[in-house]
Amino acid sequence: MNDYIVTHTFKSEEHRAKHFEATAQLTLDDMRAYMKNDKASFQINWGNPEEMVTFCWWKANSPDDILTTLGEMADLYDNDIKEMPMVANIAD
């Protein structure tokens, strides 16, 4: 799988509210169950309920596999999917 950074820009305030309402109900185990499969695997999300954008790191075979894994949620955003072949992990 390849590494991708996805910028999800909400299409409207209503879509932003739906996103944060839905994700507030999910546990980390729920997210793992819904967002990981053989073709795409959600890794990390950076978001702020006050902003109109959220960022995600995915491992996937293709951008289409990310959108398929997101399902109906993908329709809440304009999805800018960029492959990132160079990853330097210097996390503490």
For residue 17, the surrounding DSSP H or E stretch is: helix 13-24
Task: State the pLDDT at residue 3.
Answer: 97
Place of tokens 């990390």: 44
Supply the pTM of this predicted model: 0.84
The verdict on residue 91 lying in a domain is: no
Tokens representing 46 are: 């950076």
Residue 92 lies in a domain: no
- Number of domains present in the structure of the chain: 1
**Domain limits at 40?**
2-83
CATH number, residue 34: 3.30.70.1060
Give per-residue pLDDT as tens, 36-48: 999 999 999 898 8
